[in-house]
């Protein structure tokens, strides 16, 4: 019996487990089976138990994609900022897109250590936006660009407003971004915004408008 699989098919799990109906249940090596199944990119963890006398219970926990990473290819990444898999064009998703990582910094579907810190900063913003009902909720994040050193540029989905974050004290800046965005919506001036700089100092934000 297999439980917890969404993206991974039963056929894939059985193939990875190398278990057949002819195997003696008592002789199976559960750790080895679990390790083989965990080789699948979508599998975060797996628990394998013997339900005597007649069947094996395989319970999966899969990675949850929370963003897309756009480099030379499009990748799904989880809440830890780790690559799960390439995005399949057959399964369109609506997630924030992270840009600014050089393709050479992705090796065997792994992000290099030197670039991982910047990815983690983007994931912090996505995590904050995912909590509760927010003015700047995760559904209102179109893109986070991390190409510039010490700067993250978050672009909203609905009005394409670019918010410039410094890479320190993100929580304070995120709170400031929500207050600014609320005021921009309330006043109707959001349509004129060129950029919002949150790391402006003295607890303030600089909003640049079109004339």
Q: Kindly report the pTM of this predicted structure.
A: 0.86
**For the chain, what is the mean pLDDT?**
90
The predicted-structure confidence for 13-71, as pLDDT tens digits, reads as follows: 989 988 877 777 877 889 999 999 999 999 999 999 988 877 888 999 999 999 999 99
**Annotated domain spans of the chain:** 2-62, 67-209
CATH number of 67-209: 3.40.50.11690
Query: What are the pLDDT digits (tens) for 125-134?
Result: 999 999 977 8
Q: How confident is the model at residue 109 (pLDDT cuts 50, 70, 90)?
A: confident
Architecture per CATH, domain 2-62, reads as Roll (3.10)
Q: DSSP per residue over 52-87, as a string?
A: TTTEEEEEEEE----EEEESSSEEEE-TTS-EEEEP
Res 29: pLDDT: 83
């Amino acid at each position: 019996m297999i439980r917890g699989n969404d993206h991974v098919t039963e056929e894939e799990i059985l193939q990875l487990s190398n278990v057949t109906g002819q195997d003696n249940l008592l002789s199976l090596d559960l750790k080895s089976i679990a390790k083989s199944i965990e080789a699948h990119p979508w599998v975060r963890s797996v628990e394998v138990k013997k339900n005597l006398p007649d069947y094996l219970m395989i319970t999966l926990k899969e990675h949850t994609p929370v963003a897309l990473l756009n480099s030379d290819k499009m990748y799904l990444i989880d809440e830890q900022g780790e690559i799960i898999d390439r995005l399949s064009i057959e399964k369109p998703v609506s997630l924030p897109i992270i840009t600014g990582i050089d393709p050479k910094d992705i090796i065997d579907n792994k992000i290099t250590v030197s670039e991982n810190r910047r990815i983690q900063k983007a994931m912090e913003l996505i995590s904050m936006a995912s909590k509760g009902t927010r003015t700047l909720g995760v559904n209102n994040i179109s893109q986070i660009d991390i190409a510039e050193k010490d700067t993250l540029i978050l672009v909203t989905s609905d009005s394409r407003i670019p918010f410039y974050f410094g890479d320190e004290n993100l929580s304070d800046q995120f709170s400031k971004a929500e207050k600014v965005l609320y005021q921009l919506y309330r006043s109707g001036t959001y349509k004129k915004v060129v950029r919002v700089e949150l790391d402006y100092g003295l607890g303030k934000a600089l909003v640049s408008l079109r004339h």
